[in-house]
Chains A and B, each alone.
Chain A
């Protein structure tokens, strides 16, 4: 079973990861990735917007693709939407597997696809002004690795 959530309020990644770990005692390895709002560079806040009919269904599809590609005991995908402050968590992905290679690859694949294909639009507040962020070339290169 995959646990895929789109949240509009802050979450506690440590508590989520411990619950996920406790739910998968048979997994020999759990790999997790936490993305948070970067502090510094004048960033005062970050906002992610989503589109209800598309965003969560596409996250669920992505989780199903990950499960088809690797043998996992469990997969956790939590993504925030809304306004976040520096150091607040944005995304948490965790993959539980019998062996670590599957868990590493699954979490890496899920993150690359969340970054470049998920239905989120991001803007950043600097000096009191909001500015939309364009997709990065690096994100497309990252996803091309999996073709």
Chain B
């Protein structure tokens, strides 16, 4: 899932990752590099973009491990209210 401005950068709100689990951060970055723009890749790697798996925030995104069927969300800084 790409939230906020990341959706525009990705050109889509979500995308299936067609790869066999488990996936780590290096795999995710590699997949993003293949599917999307370098601007999106740079944004996602930046410290301002947080990550959630199945709706739970991940404290250290570079240490994440994805299993089959997990929903990974990229969350740019919020600007609500």
Complex-state Cα separation, A68 to B5, whole angstroms? 34
Give per-residue flags for B11-35: 1 if the beta carbon is below 8 A from chain A beta carbons, else 0.
Answer: 0000000000000000000000000
Q: Does A2 count as interface, using CB distance less than 8 angstroms?
A: no
The CA of A67 and the CA of B20, in the complex, are separated in Å by 45
Contact residues in B for A35 (Cβ distance below 8 Å) = 81
Count A-B pairs with CB separation below 8 Å. Answer: 67
Asked whether A122 and B3 contact (CB < 8 A) given A53-B52, A53-B55, the answer is no
The number of residues on chain A lying at the interface, defined by a beta carbon within 8 Å of a beta carbon of chain B, is 28
Contact (Cβ within 8 A) B80 A48: yes
| Size category, B interface | 10 to 19
Q: For chain A, residues 94 to 115, give those with C-beta under 8 angstroms from any C-beta of chain B.
A: 111, 114-115
Q: Chain B interface mostly helix, strand, loop or mixed?
A: loop
Asked if A118 and B75 sit within 8 Å, CB to CB, the answer is: no
Q: B21 CB to closest chain A CB, in angstroms?
A: 19
Which residues does chain A contribute within 8 Å of B8, judged by CB atoms? 132
Chain A interface (Cβ < 8 Å from any Cβ of B)? 35, 48-49, 51-54, 57, 79, 90-91, 111, 114-123, 132-136, 139
Shortest beta-carbon contacts, A-B, top 8:
A53-B55, A120-B80, A121-B4, A115-B81, A132-B5, A122-B79, A118-B80, A133-B79
A and B contact pairs by CB, cutoff 8 A, 6 listed: A48-B80, A53-B73, A54-B52, A54-B55, A54-B73, A121-B4
